[in-house]
């Protein structure tokens, strides 16, 4: 996994202006603190840096993090800590399940346009439906009580109809 990450990942580049600001802000803050005798306000730091305070706000809420960093408050034991990579994977899984649900709804809607025998042949052959596995052509023919060439013709007609409907 680590080799794949090294081979196929790309570093994230921080814009030069942000990087410069990250380096300059602590020094400016320390200088102002020494001059004012108190902790400087963000508006004063922004003015000294010569940037709008909104840019300083964005900079202060920007952080560099590793995918292996633990998420705050996830757990005290190191073995059960959530990492940013775990959260990214969960979001990806949620997105995929949402896409799969949308795809299944569209497929179900398209299957409603097929004649019953074509629909059943397609469901049997490709495992469309509630957790079914795809079957061989001989098994499809036996389940429909037709010969294999007839089952093949039913499948071809079903696929042709679905392609025509999805092109619309």
What letter does residue 74 receive in the DSSP assignment?
S
Helix (H) or strand (E) holding 26: helix 16-36
Phi-psi region of 57 (alpha: psi -120 to 50; beta: other; left: phi over 0): alpha
pLDDT, average across residues 100-106: 77
Among residues 126, 112, 113, 133, the alpha carbon closest in space to that of 155 is found at 126
Could you give the C-alpha distances from 149 to 114, 124, 160, in angstroms and in order? 19, 15, 16
What letter does residue 69 receive in the DSSP assignment?
S
Cβ–Cβ under 8 Å, residues 118 and 154: yes
Range with the lowest mean pLDDT among 105-109, 120-124, 145-149? Answer: 105-109
- Whole-number Å distance between alpha carbons of 134 and 127: 4
pTM as predicted? 0.43
Helix (H) or strand (E) holding 167: helix 148-167
Q: Mind listing the pLDDT tens digit for each residue in 59-83? A: 766 655 666 666 655 455 555 567 7
In the chain, the largest separation of any two C-alpha atoms, in whole Å, equals 93
Structure tokens at 117: 């025998």
pLDDT, residue 146, reads 96
- Whole-number Å distance between alpha carbons of 124 and 117: 11
Its sign, for the CA torsion 109, 110, 111, 113, is: positive
Residue 150's pLDDT band (cuts 50, 70, 90) = very high
pLDDT, residue 21, reads 81
Instruction: Count the neighbouring beta carbons within 10 Å of the beta carbon of residue 14.
Output: 13
């Amino acid at each position: 996994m680590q080799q794949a990450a090294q081979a196929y990942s790309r570093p994230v580049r921080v814009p030069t202006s942000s990087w410069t600001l990250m380096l300059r802000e602590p020094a400016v803050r320390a200088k102002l603190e020494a001059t004012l005798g108190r902790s400087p306000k963000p508006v004063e730091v922004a003015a000294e840096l010569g940037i709008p305070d909104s840019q300083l706000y964005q900079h202060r809420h920007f952080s560099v993090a590793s995918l292996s960093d633990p998420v705050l408050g996830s757990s005290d034991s190191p073995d059960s800590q959530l990492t940013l990579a775990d959260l990214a994977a969960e979001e990806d899984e949620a997105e995929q399940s949402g896409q799969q649900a949308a795809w299944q709804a569209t497929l179900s809607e398209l299957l409603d346009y097929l004649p019953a025998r074509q629909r059943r042949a397609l469901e049997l052959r490709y495992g469309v439906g509630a957790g079914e596995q795809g079957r061989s052509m001989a098994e499809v023919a036996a389940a429909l009580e037709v010969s294999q060439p007839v089952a093949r013709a039913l499948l071809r007609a079903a696929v042709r109809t679905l392609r025509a409907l999805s092109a619309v």
